[in-house]
Amino acid sequence: MAGVEFVDVRKSFGAFPVIKGVNIDIADGEFVILVGPSGCGKSTLLRMLAGLENISAGEIRIGNRVVNGMAPGDRDIAMVFQNYALYPHMSVAQNMAFSLMLKRAPKADMDQRVKKAAEILGLTKLLDRYPRQLSGGQRQRVAMGRAIVRDPQVFLFDEPLSNLDAKLRVAMRAEIKELHQRLGTTTVYVTHDQIEAMTMADKIVVMHDGVVEQVGKPLDLYDTPANLFVAGFIGSPA
Ligand code: ADP
Ligand code: MG
């Protein structure tokens, strides 16, 4: 396991700055939520941590490794996206094993990891099904299974629940938290939903227009927002 650190991280697309000097310290095993309105730079920050986007300046560390410039596959992270497209022609088991196959993991090890992830996620009886035979919640679990089998140092989630209906979203929040309690893996989770942030996070990072407005525990943000933006966004009276 490992913590994550952003040190004065900046990002511009062309001449347009979208991340304007971000510092975030995430402890080993912490469940941290980046929250803020659409377009504030949450996904860009997460994609830079994943290595899917270059950083313009600053430093990102995972554990004691500076990962700037490191290929995504070398970072020991696993990401669950909003549009967690599963491979339609592969079974649940094959979907989960795929990234391990790419890494040429031994078959016995691969089977063992898929089996364990399936147990954790309640997918054991569905391993031979295909994505079209699954409900939305089951598909979401398979997407998480793909991340779990890799046993990464850090899980990244980018709005993983936004395609689910309201009831399922609430249920999946609890499942993701249980998963975190069970595995203890450092997690960086992005959402624009302040309820999701307030109910799930150990620590919330409130972003606005490419900067961090405040970092704190849910109740601390609620009780003592640093400014009007945080107060308005988290929903406490200003
Ligand atoms: P969020 O995830 O918080 O909604 P994003 O990180 O997706 O925000 O985007 C932050 C800003 O960067 C937005 O203004 C967006 O339009 C811009 N942006 C994101 N990706 C690109 C890109 N590949 N090229 C140009 N601009 C981008
Ligand atoms: Mg986004």
Torsion angle defined by CA atoms of residues 172, 173, 174 and 178, in that order, rounded to the nearest 10 degrees: 100
Choose one of 6, 10, 18, 22 to mutate for the ligand 1 pocket test, by most ligand atoms within 8 angstroms of C-beta.
18
The predicted structure's pLDDT at residue 114: 95
Choose one of 13, 19, 81 to mutate for the ligand 1 pocket test, by most ligand atoms within 8 angstroms of C-beta.
13
Mind listing the pLDDT tens digit for each residue in 76-93? 999 987 777 899 999 999
Q: How far is the CA of 94 from the centre of ligand 1 (A)?
A: 33
Residue 13: which of 35, 51, 44 has the closest Cα? Answer: 44
Per-residue burial over 126-144, b = 16 or more CB atoms within 10 Å of its CB, e = otherwise: bbeebbeebeebbbbbbbb
What length does the chain have?
238
Q: How far is the CA of 190 from the centre of ligand 2 (A)?
A: 7
Q: How far is the CA of 67 from the centre of ligand 2 (A)?
A: 22
> Does residue 237 have a pLDDT over 70?
no
Structure tokens at 16: 């347009």
> Does residue 106 have a pLDDT over 90?
no
The predicted structure's pLDDT at residue 20: 98
- What is the arithmetic mean of pLDDT over 136-153? 91
Nearest CA to ligand 1 atom 15: 39
Rounded to whole angstroms, the Cα distance separating 149 from 151 reads 5
Rounded to whole angstroms, the Cα distance separating 63 from 75 reads 10
- What is the arithmetic mean of pLDDT over 194-202? 94
The ligand that comes nearest to the alpha carbon of residue 42 is: 1
Counting beta carbons within 10 angstroms of the beta carbon of residue 186, is it exposed (0 to 12), middle (13 to 18) or buried (19 or more)?
A: buried
Q: Which ligand 1 atom minimizes the distance to the CA of 47? A: 6
Q: Is 117 helix (H, G, I), strand (E, B) or coil?
A: helix
Which residues, including other chains, have CB under 8 Å from residue 151's CB and lie 6 or more apart?
A: 113
Which residues, including other chains, have CB under 8 Å from residue 87's CB and lie 6 or more apart?
A: 94, 95, 98, 131
- Compute the C-alpha angle 10/72/28, nearest 5°: 75
Mind listing the pLDDT tens digit for each residue in 203-213? 999 999 999 99
Rounded to whole angstroms, the Cα distance separating 231 from 100 reads 44
Residue 141: which of 126, 156, 155 has the closest Cα? Answer: 126
Nearest CA to ligand 1 atom 10: 41
- Pocket around ligand 1: residues whose beta carbon is below 6 Å from it? 13, 18, 36, 38-44
Q: Give the distance from CA 196 to its chain's centroid.
A: 13
The predicted structure's pLDDT at residue 1: 67
